[in-house]
Amino acid sequence: MNLRVVLTGVLMIVLALGFFFGMGVTLAPKSNDPAAMMQTVGTVSGAVGGIGLVMVLFGALRRKRI
């Protein structure tokens, strides 16, 4: 298992979730169009979270070369 890739993927997932919920709590209520803003934030968070998930899977399933 490649631990650095797994930890980076987990960190990306945590940051994506934090970004999504942070934007929803802090900036969305103040926005002129909160629905459109949260749609964009959700798209970005989903992309980053998906990349993090792929990194976790590849890091967990691939053997580290010596």
Looking at residue 65, its amino acid is R
pLDDT in tens, the chain (66 residues): 789 999 999 999 999 999 999 999 999 999 999 999 999 999 999 999 999 999 999 999 987 666
- Please, which residues have CB within 8 angstroms of residue 37's CB and are 6 or more apart in sequence? 23, 27, 28, 31
Q: What DSSP state is assigned to residue 33?
A: S
Integer Cα distance of 19 and 41 in angstroms: 8
Residue spans of alpha helices (H) in 1-66:
3-26, 34-61
pTM: 0.87
